[in-house]
């Protein structure tokens, strides 16, 4: 028994060693009201924005993103999800849903590629149609329990969460996508249908929180 207890302790310590406390925030679940809706964030446009301001007649889409993660920007012959942002924005706009990209990579500012100057350059290069905002000290990401870049959160008009997780099932190629989770959630919401699934596991680089 003594050796069994010792073994459990060793296993526990080994497991805890791989937990990143900077990302150990509980992700909000479907039905939860969006937190920090009045938090003002600086945008690449030179203005400040809040979720409350960006919410539209049929809701709001929040995508935690960045300039540096291969899951966002792609690498080699792999596309990344960033190239689908403008299409997503167009869909949201057509259905009167607001949208915003949020950069919470506090630990990668000012020299890691995710400061405001880098964000402005990225937004211009990729011709972002969404507002691109800086989440100072990862406050919004922490409140959401956002884990990765990208990590999407779709809210209804009352700012209650109706879908969170991945954009679709193939980061490497838009042409190879079989399950468009976010697009389905948006269209089902507009058509008054159930959103199933209302959650998928987020996939991407961990959000680089400070500390």
How far apart, in whole angstroms, are the C-alpha atoms of residue 137 and residue 12? 30
- The number of residues in the chain equals 211
Measure the N-to-C terminal CA separation of the chain; round to a whole number of Å.
Answer: 39
pLDDT of 63 strictly over 90: yes
The predicted model gives 130-138 an average pLDDT of 98
Total number of domains in the chain = 1
How does residue 19 score in pLDDT terms, banded at 50, 70 and 90?
A: very low
The whole-number pLDDT of residue 77 equals 85
Query: Which residue has 């291969």 as its token pair?
Result: 70
In a domain, 133, yes or no: yes
Q: Among 13-22, 115-124, 131-140, 189-198, whose mean pLDDT is lowest?
A: 13-22
Joined together, the tokens standing for residue 53 give 């301001």
Pairing of strands 205-206, 98-103: unpaired
How does residue 22 score in pLDDT terms, banded at 50, 70 and 90?
A: low
In a domain, 87, yes or no: yes
How many angstroms separate the Cα of 111 from the Cα of each of 65, 105, 122, 150?
A: 17, 11, 15, 21
Contact criterion met (CB below 8 Å) for 204 and 72: yes
In a domain, 157, yes or no: yes
Mean pLDDT (the chain, rounded)? 90
In a domain, 106, yes or no: yes
The whole-number pLDDT of residue 15 equals 29
Distance of CA 132 to the CA centre of its chain: 12
The whole-number pLDDT of residue 191 equals 98
Boundaries of domain holding 134? 25-206
Strand partners, 101: 63, 132
**What would the DSSP string read from start to end of 75-125?**
BTTB--SGGGHHHHHHHHHHTT-EEEEEE--GGGTTTSS-SHHHHHHHHHH
Residue 95 belongs to domain with CATH number: 3.40.30.10
Strand partners, 109: none
In a domain, 211, yes or no: no
Contact criterion met (CB below 8 Å) for 146 and 205: no
In a domain, 7, yes or no: no
Q: What is the pTM of this model?
A: 0.89
Cβ neighbours around 163 below 10 Å, total:
25
pLDDT of 91 strictly over 90: yes
In a domain, 12, yes or no: no
In a domain, 49, yes or no: yes
């Amino acid at each position: 028994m003594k050796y069994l207890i010792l073994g459990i302790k060793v296993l526990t310590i080994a497991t805890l060693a791989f937990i990143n406390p900077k990302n150990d925030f509980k992700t909000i679940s479907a039905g939860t009201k969006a937190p920090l809706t009045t938090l003002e964030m600086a945008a690449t446009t030179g203005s400040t924005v809040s979720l409350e301001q960006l919410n539209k007649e049929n809701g709001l889409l929040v995508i935690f993103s960045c300039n540096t993660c291969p899951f966002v920007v792609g690498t080699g012959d792999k596309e990344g999800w960033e190239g689908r942002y403008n299409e997503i924005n167009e869909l949201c706009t057509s259905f009167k849903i607001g949208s915003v990209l949020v950069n919470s990579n506090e630990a990668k500012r000012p020299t890691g590629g995710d400061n405001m100057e880098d964000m402005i350059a990225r937004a211009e290069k990729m011709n972002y149609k969404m507002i691109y905002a800086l989440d100072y000290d990862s406050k919004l990401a922490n409140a959401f329990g956002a884990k990765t870049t990208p990590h999407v959160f779709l809210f209804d008009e009352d700012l209650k969460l109706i879908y969170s997780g991945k954009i679709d099932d193939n980061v490497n190629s838009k042409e190879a996508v079989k399950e468009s989770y976010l697009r389905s959630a948006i269209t089902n919401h507009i058509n008054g249908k159930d959103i199933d699934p209302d959650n998928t596991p987020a996939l991407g680089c961990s959000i680089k929180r400070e500390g």
